[in-house]
Structure 1
Amino acid sequence: MSINGMVPAEIGSSDMGTTQIANEVIAVIAGLAATDVRGVADMSGGVVGGIAERLGRKNLSKGIKVDVSTDERQCSVDLSIIAEYGFRIPEVATEIQDSVKRAIEGMTGLEVTSVNVNVLGISFRHDDGEEREKVRG
């Protein structure tokens, strides 16, 4: 069965039936885990994500691509983020990788083979906490 053109991961079956997890659910788990990391200002979803947000819809999977292996036991994740100015980007990326891997494996039972972090911009915040400017590459 295909959901939005993507085959969901089948993570279990029993006499009662099967359990499948859509790739978008895995992406939401990854997005929540990534945004909990200090130094991540936002996820970057490109033009489509920006349009959805302007229409008042929060897309929890924006900027995230999930690939589930053909045997449906492993997955890889690509994330695009906006980093906060003042944080060491390599450390933020490593923490994102650890957090996302832990969250997905803990909640789904899938083995995460890779978490690729793409930093697409920097967010500058002033002393009052308001975001003033984003610089995107």
Structure 2
Amino acid sequence: MEESMNREIDMGIVKISDEVVGVIAGLATTEIEGIVGMSASVVGGITQILTGKKNLSKGVKVTVGEESSAIDLYVVVEYGIRIPDVALKVQENVKRTVEAMTGLNVDAVNIHVQNVIIPKMDEGNVEEIEE
């Protein structure tokens, strides 16, 4: 696995992998109201089914270069929300959280809306609408 950050300190080197950054970014994304979940790739979905392990970095792609880093998020949003507003909140929260927890400079947080979920109506709401 490619290491995303190496930091030399007096006692040795601290290495933070791309997967750790992905987990942090994924959790920071799902904290925002209007985000229903993350969209897994086909390979990630099959791996989760076979292993039974929940992949906390699903729907996250971390790219780290020499001086720049980018995080791509593949999200599922709730119907009725204003997508640009939610996307901005996600970008700000992910950037702030990843930088605070890892010390890594985040240059871009790219949001890819993969799906829109319509909330299910419960029986109480259906009866009110019919009356």
Normalised-by-shorter TM-score class: 0.7 to 0.9
Specify the alignment match of 1:77 in structure 2.
71
> Higher helix share goes to which structure?
2
> Higher strand share goes to which structure?
1
> Deviation above 4 Å: which 4+ runs of structure 1?
none
Q: Unpaired runs of 5+ in structure 1?
A: 129-137
TM-score, length basis structure 2: 0.85
- Total equivalences in the alignment: 121
- Per the TM alignment, residue 22 of structure 1 is displaced from its structure 2 partner at its CA by 0.1
Distance 2:117 2:94 in 1: 21
Check the 8 A contact 1:52/1:58 in 2, yes or no: no
AA partner of residue 58 (structure 2) = K
Identity of aligned residues (%): 46
- Per the TM alignment, residue 102 of structure 1 is displaced from its structure 2 partner at its CA by 0.6
Specify the alignment match of 2:100 in structure 1.
106
- Cα deviations across residues 60-105 of structure 1 (Å, max 9, x unaligned)? 111111111225xx42100101111111111111011001001001
Instruction: Identify which range, 47-56 or 74-83, moves more after superposition.
Output: 47-56
Output the aligned Cα RMSD. 1.4
Q: Unpaired runs of 5+ in structure 2?
A: 123-131
TM-score, length basis structure 1: 0.82
1:47 aligns with 2:48: no
